[in-house]
Amino acid sequence: MGSKSNYAENATLNNLLSGTVYVGLTTAANETSVTEPTDTAYARQAVTFTVTGSSADNDAQISFPYATQNNGTVNMAVFDALTGGNHLYIVDITNGPFTYNTDEKIEVMAGTLTITEG
């Protein structure tokens, strides 16, 4: 089994994260499927990343609206569309997971959502 070269890692991030992508909350995730909250206030949030080497960081703050119901514990995932689309990454949150319950909102400061290849 091989591994990607540094060039391939950088190219993958640049290809998948160029332009606007969308960050969503996940109540359950694995490599093939993601379950997002059913909260009526919830929506994926647009984000752009700056790729440096084999990692990418969000350029601006990401804000999810106040929840209107209890959604439980959530993590994050990156998608290529506002709805539907392709699931690109499951994100490991260094200070998460979060709870997303009634009257709670989630904000991720610029530069703190990091995606790495390798």
What is the domain range of residue 25? 6-116
Residue 52 to residue 29: CA distance in whole angstroms = 26
Q: Vertex 55, ends 6 and 117: CA angle to 5°? A: 55
pLDDT at 94 over 80: no
Report the domain count for the chain: 1
pTM (2 d.p.) = 0.89
The owner of tokens 């209890």 is: 70
Residue 51 to residue 25: CA distance in whole angstroms = 22
Whether residue 1 lies inside any domain: the answer is no
Given pLDDT bands bounded at 50, 70 and 90, which one contains residue 39? very high
Whether residue 41 lies inside any domain: the answer is yes
Task: Give the model's pLDDT for residue 54.
Answer: 84
Give backbone dihedrals phi and psi of 21, rounded to 5 degrees, phi first.
Answer: -125, -175
The owner of tokens 């991720």 is: 108
Instruction: For 47-72, write each residue's pLDDT tens digit.
Output: 999 998 888 999 999 999 999 999 99
